[in-house]
Amino acid sequence: MKRKIEIEYIETIDLEQLSKIEKELMTKAINVANTAYAPYSEFNVGAALILENDKIITGNNQENSSFPCGICAERVALFSANSMYPNLEIKKIAITAIANNFILTHPVGPCGLCRQVLIECEERQNTEIEIILFDSNKIIKLQNAKSLLPFYFKEDQLKRKKP
C-alpha cells in the first residue's frame, strides 16, 4: 500500500500576520543568535520559546574545539526551559540563523536531533508547540513539532520499570 504524508504550514512575509508575542520571540531569537559561541562554523543560531506563564527562554548554539561537544540553539533553549520550569508547557518557539560567511537564502530548520527533542517536549506536555522559522525574507509557521519529523523515534516501553 502506498501512503503519503502531507505537511501543512504557513509561509508569509507579512509581519501583520503574527501576534505581538510572536514578533517578540523573533526579536529575541535574533538577539540571542548574535551572542552564540560559534567560532568554528561562524554560523549563529538563535531560538526563543515562550512558556505557558509567558516567560521567554532563549538559547544559542555553543560550539567547542572538540566539535561533537557543541550543541544547537534549539536544544539549549528547550533543555533550559525543561530544567528551570519542568512543569510548564512550551507554547511556541522561534528559530533563526545568521551566517557570517555566506548569504542565507531561506529560513533554517532545526536539525534532526533538535526535531526529536522538540517532539518529546510535545509528548511530555501533551500539547502542541508551534514552530516559527524565519529569516529577513520569509516566515514559516508550523502548527506542531511532530509535522517536522515523520517516523520519529518513539518507544514508550523504554520508560517501563524492569520486573
Cβ proximity to ligand THU: between 42 and 52 the closer is: 42
Contact between 32 and ligand THU per CB under 6 A: no
Query: Which of 19, 18, 32 lies closest to 95 in space, CA to CA?
Result: 32
Contact between 63 and ligand THU per CB under 6 A: yes
Q: What's the CA gap between 87 and 124, in Å, rounded? A: 10
Indicate the residue type of 154: K
Can 8 be counted among the known catalytic residues? no
Contact between 48 and ligand THU per CB under 6 A: no
Contact between 41 and ligand THU per CB under 6 A: yes
Using CB under 6 A as the binding criterion, the count of chain residues that bind ligand THU stands at 13
CB 92 within 8 A of CB 132: yes
Residue of 18, 43, 90, 141 that binds ligand THU (CB under 6 A): 43
Residue of 29, 32, 38, 50 that binds ligand THU (CB under 6 A): 38
Going from the C-alpha of 142 to that of each of 5, 14, 21, 128, 153, the distances in angstroms are 15, 16, 16, 10, 20
CB 62 within 8 A of CB 46: no
Instruction: Catalog residues that contact ligand THU under the rule CB under 6 A.
Output: 38, 41, 43, 45, 61, 63, 70, 72-74, 110-111, 114
Which residues are catalytically annotated?
Answer: 74
